[in-house]
Amino acid sequence: MTRDLATDLLRHGYHAIPDARRRAGDPPACPVKLLGNDALVVSGPASVRRFYDPSLIRRTGAVPAPLAALLFGRGAVHGLDGAEHLHRKAHFLDLLDDADTTLHDLVRRHLRSALGERRGETVEMFTLLSEAYARAVLEWAGISVRNPDRVGRRLAAIVDGFGFSGSSYPTAWAARLWANRWARALIREARAARTPPSTPVEVIAAWRDPHDDLLPVPVAAVELLNVLRPAVAVAYLGTFAVQTLDDEPGLRPVLAEDPSRRHAFTQEVRRVFPFVPALAGIARQHADWDGEIVSPGQRVVLDVPGTNLDPGSWSAPYTFSAERFVGRDVDAFELVPQGGGDPAEGHRCPGEPSTIAMISATVEIFAGASWSVVERGSTYPRIPARERLQIRVG
């Protein structure tokens, strides 16, 4: 029986794509079976450029419905194409325009107070970060809740299920159903206020489609969650960042002091550590991808970690180098942990500056704080890889 990449992703997690490419002799474009159909796995900056060419690739229907509904929600920006996508995407970019500065300061403040309150205790890093990030993003969004930590844990649970592994998948669905109900109530409440929108939740509640109609409540709710949920999910990368401070304690003084070195360190964390395993698109037309011909309707899968570790782009790609990005410009097609190209023209993540700001703030706090590791472990190669980092707060 032919191997199917979908089954291999479930069974072997992040190993599935590199294994498929190795078995095929590491071609630049690797034919695979995906959900029973022919598909092509592509990697590297030239492929990223083609993957983000909307005349070659569409997104509608590319991510299988059960995964898209769980992770992004029904009607989300992720699955739109053409004018509708550009219109919705412009809303996100406007909303997030200066969110990075605010989120940076809020993450610092919430982490400082969490560490102050937990002095002498043993804490799980992922939980600590997802709670602090939830407090930060809810405050930025203008949402006040009695138990922000619980909201953070539920939003993190949605992301934890996207690899369909074990009990995390049904847990993720329970969290998604709860989150949809909660976010719809927030949208209805914001619309009922009838005041000019000022906070992000009010701004999202007032978003319109290209025909100038308000988005349906369930869609506006899904888009609100498409800001809150990934901001909490920055905890996956934040945990990798803190873990790297444990691996390289000599870096802590410079990272505590120097914002440009924190930025470079954060870029390297985003390059090296796995989170998004792949992105899926559907070919619109016949095209030659490095000698492999794709037909219209065929899935093209962008190998995200493979691009971030591409030996053609990076020297010693598998080595973590805190200095790699010092004084180095980043090309829009070579470093793609959150997608590639221009976020205003394609599907690249609009939350990238916020993500970088939140991780940098985390690095600043943990590089300067007193803590020691109690236990370390990892769920790798399970998707999404979650580091188990228990620390004692000093």
Binding site for ligand HEM (CB under 6 A): 77-78, 89, 92, 96, 226-227, 230-231, 233-234, 236-237, 275-276, 279, 337-339, 347-351, 354-355
Minimum gap (Å) between residue 392 Cβ and ligand HEM: 26
Query: Smaller CB distance to ligand HEM: residue 77 or 385?
Result: 77
Q: How far apart are CA 12 and CA 241, in angstroms?
A: 24
Minimum gap (Å) between residue 133 Cβ and ligand HEM: 9
Minimum gap (Å) between residue 23 Cβ and ligand HEM: 25
> Tokens standing for 67?
């995964």
> Tokens standing for 392?
């004692």
Q: How far apart are CA 100 and CA 358, in angstroms?
A: 8
- Annotate 337-374 with three-state secondary structure: ECECCCCCCCCCCCCHHHHHHHHHHHHHHHHHCCEEEE
Minimum gap (Å) between residue 84 Cβ and ligand HEM: 11
Query: Smaller CB distance to ligand HEM: residue 65 or 374?
Result: 65
Minimum gap (Å) between residue 343 Cβ and ligand HEM: 7
Backbone angles phi, psi at 320, to 5 degrees: -75, 120
Query: Smaller CB distance to ligand HEM: residue 251 or 276?
Result: 276
Query: Smaller CB distance to ligand HEM: residue 43 or 393?
Result: 43
Minimum gap (Å) between residue 65 Cβ and ligand HEM: 16
The alpha carbon of 374 is separated from its chain's Cα centroid by a whole number of angstroms, namely: 28
Query: Which DSSP helix (H) or strand (E) runs through 265?
Result: helix 259-272
Q: How far apart are CA 118 and CA 103, in angstroms?
A: 22
DSSP string, 148-178: HHHHHHHHHHHHHTTT--TTHHHHHHHHHHH
Query: Smaller CB distance to ligand HEM: residue 230 or 305?
Result: 230
Query: Which DSSP helix (H) or strand (E) runs through 221?
Result: helix 217-247
- Give the list of residues 6+ apart from residue 375 with CB closer than 8 angstroms, or none: 388, 389, 390
- Give the list of residues 6+ apart from residue 322 with CB closer than 8 angstroms, or none: 248, 251, 255, 261, 264, 265, 268
Among the listed residues 98, 99, 63, the one whose alpha carbon sits nearest the alpha carbon of residue 80: 63
Query: Smaller CB distance to ligand HEM: residue 54 or 118?
Result: 54
Give residue number: closest CB to ligand HEM: 351
Minimum gap (Å) between residue 299 Cβ and ligand HEM: 14
Minimum gap (Å) between residue 114 Cβ and ligand HEM: 19
Query: Smaller CB distance to ligand HEM: residue 152 or 393?
Result: 152
Query: Smaller CB distance to ligand HEM: residue 78 or 262?
Result: 78
Query: Smaller CB distance to ligand HEM: residue 29 or 71?
Result: 71
Minimum gap (Å) between residue 216 Cβ and ligand HEM: 17
> Tokens standing for 352?
């990238």
The DSSP secondary-structure symbol of 195 reads S
